[in-house]
Amino acid sequence: MGSEYAIEAEGLRRTYRTRTGWLKPRRSEVEAVRGIDLTVRRGELFGLLGPNGAGKTTTIKMLNTLLIPTAGTARICGFDVVTRTREVRRRIGYVFGGDRGLYDRLSGLDNLRYFAELYGVPPHQQKSAIAELLDLVGLTGREHERVEGYSRGMRQRLHIARGLLHDPDVLFLDEPSIGVDPVAARELRRTVGNLAANGTTVLLTTHYMAEADELCDRIAVIADGRLQALGTPAELRSHADGRRVVEVEAYGVPDSAIAALRGLPGVRETAVEERGTLQLLTVQSDAHLDVQGDVLRELAGVRLGRVASREPTLEDAYVAIVNAA
């Protein structure tokens, strides 16, 4: 087989043209992906991270033949995604998050049977392949029920079984773990890890940093349709080297206080995460400066919870990379 790389992309770009209004159509263009170069080795587990709207799904859809790139080329196992579509499709699986993409009024088993046939699984192997996958995703015993009665996580698992039916060489997983409970998510990570260990190339997008950190051999961070960083999780973490993180739980922090935190000497990044009534402030600073005292002074008068100072994680590095973009 042709290439030593499972996925190769050179200068991939994609523009969406949208038209709104019938009588007076207004055209607008969105540059979703603006030049992405990547190579993924066979058997590698590659993560694609980035904020909402960064262009991750668009990139995946160009690689899995659902979208034709506006510019640039891509190859899967050495086959061009535009000119050798059939060859590419034979070798790839695609799973996306959410509860769409299945026939709701058919049973889980019928869904798999239909897709097995469609994806060219030889008839005599279909039965055993389906049984094996149902077992793998833990749906054995529920396969005769209609999908409309499945929970979110069950649908997601059925989706994954569907993606694996024809034993693809390259698997695209677009946020496979949304809506999956923590225990099932751990199972899922193990399944994905095993697949990669057995030689399947996996391209994964996720918003869970811990998941990416645990699973991925290499990670690319994209924002605004461009590659911002690429490397092993350890290499990416080094983007936050020489920093220290202060985390503060607070209630009702005014915007002015957050702006003031940004202006403190030595502060590199600030992020606010809303968790119900609680706000989690993360302040990254140069490691040799202790900003904790300054931070607390700026927050005087605000009701505070736990305050902690810690080493930066992959997530902090990610925030630094994305904010720099």
Ligand X SMILES: Nc1ncnc2c1ncn2[C@@H]1O[C@H](COP(=O)(O)OP(=O)(O)OP(=O)(O)O)[C@@H](O)[C@H]1O
With beta carbons less than 8 A apart as the criterion, state whether 9 and 170 touch: no
**What single-letter amino acid sits at 63?**
L
**Greatest CA span in the chain, whole angstroms?**
71
Q: CA 135, CA 113: separation in Å to the nearest integer?
A: 15
Q: Which is nearer to other proteins, 108 or 312 (CB)?
A: 108
Site string for ligand X, 51-90 (x = CB under 6 A): -xxxxxxx--------------------------------
In angstroms, how far is the first alpha carbon of the chain from the final one?
A: 38
With beta carbons less than 8 A apart as the criterion, state whether 102 and 158 touch: yes
Q: How far is the CB of 213 from other proteins (least distance, A)?
A: 29
Which residues within the stretch 142-161 sit at the binding site for Mg ion (CB under 5 A)?
A: none
Beta bridge partners of 278: 251, 275
User: Which position has the token pair 């496979």?
Assistant: 176
Which residues within the stretch 241-300 sit at the binding site for other proteins (CB under 8 A)?
A: none
DSSP alpha helices (H): ranges in the chain?
A: 56-63, 85-91, 108-118, 123-136, 152-164, 182-197, 209-215, 233-237, 255-263, 292-298, 314-324
The values of phi and psi at residue 238, to 5°, are -70, -15
Which residues within the stretch 113-172 sit at the binding site for other proteins (CB under 8 A)?
A: 113-115, 117-120, 123, 146, 162
Q: Which is nearer to ligand X, 54 or 203 (CB)?
A: 54
Q: Which is nearer to ligand X, 58 or 285 (CB)?
A: 58
Site string for other proteins, 199-238 (x = CB under 8 A): ----------------------------------------
With beta carbons less than 8 A apart as the criterion, state whether 321 and 233 touch: no
The packing angle between helices 123-136 and 108-118, to 10°, is: 130
Q: Which is nearer to other proteins, 65 or 228 (CB)?
A: 65
Q: CB under 5 A: which stretch of 52-60, 110-118, 191-199, 248-256 binds Mg ion?
A: 52-60
Q: 34 is in the binding site of which of ligand X, other proteins, Mg ion, none (Cβ under 5 to 8 A by kind)?
A: none
Site string for ligand X, 37-56 (x = CB under 6 A): -------------x-xxxxx
Chain centroid offset of residue 76 CA: 19
Which residues within the stretch 38-77 sit at the binding site for other proteins (CB under 8 A)?
A: 64-68
With H, G, I as helix, E, B as strand and everything else as coil, classify residue 284: strand
Q: Does residue number 57 form part of the binding site for Mg ion (CB under 5 A)?
A: yes
Q: Which is nearer to Mg ion, 84 or 207 (CB)?
A: 207
Number of other CB atoms surrounding residue 322 within 10 Å? 20
What residue ranges bind ligand X (CB under 6 A)? 16, 18, 30, 32, 50, 52-58
What residue ranges bind other proteins (CB under 8 A)? 16-17, 64-68, 86, 89-90, 92, 94, 96, 98, 100-106, 110, 113-115, 117-120, 123, 146, 162
